[in-house]
Amino acid sequence: MKCCSKCSLTMATEACHSSAYLMFVGLSGKIEKNKIHSPLSSETNSGRIIDKIVEKLNDLIPYKTNLVKCSPVDDLGKMRYPSAEEMENCYPKLNNEITILDPKVVVLLGSQVSKFVLNKLDLGKKVLDEAAFIKCRIHQNRLFISTYHPSYMQIYKNKHIEAYAEQISNAANKFAF
């Protein structure tokens, strides 16, 4: 585990890759019973849903990361949403990951991540409707897919998880070829 020079919170990082075709971007790290999970770990509900999407990919190499690299907690030690300042502080790290790994597809998980990243790229706000679980934009020859966070799907749209995974994997696979 590493410490960030901006806020000194512990952050979880995935093993380094030299490249990745597809990048999943979550909001922030997760702490569970004093264990810090790697981004979108298969040990979490969200990670298991991401695994369903990865299974449907045509051998495309995925990479999992978070916008905020640390696990923000409140004064009582409970998980909280990251502040705008924390997202702003961590964005250069995410941008660096995108530059180094050069993914062709970036999946932005959840409204906070989608709105923040699309705003930084000057691509407007994410608009999703009930029929479609994804919204796609192309920027600098890279496909950005805005979608609901897997935990939202798990809680509020559980019966649609297969369609959700299918829409994301289909968009990624089509852009690949």
Domains of the chain plus CATH, in order, are 19-176 (3.40.470.10)
Q: Per residue in 85-129, pLDDT tens?
A: 999 999 999 999 999 999 999 999 999 999 999 999 988 765 555
CA angle 1, 34, 161 (to 5 degrees): 90
pLDDT at 18 over 50: yes
| Residue 175 in this model has a pLDDT that exceeds 70 | yes
The confidence score (pLDDT) of residue 176 equals 73
For the cut 60, the answer to whether the pLDDT of residue 2 exceeds it is no
Question: How does pLDDT run across 27-82, given as a tens digit for each residue?
Answer: 987 766 555 668 888 888 899 999 999 999 887 889 999 999 888 888 888 889 89
Predicted TM-score of the model (pTM): 0.86
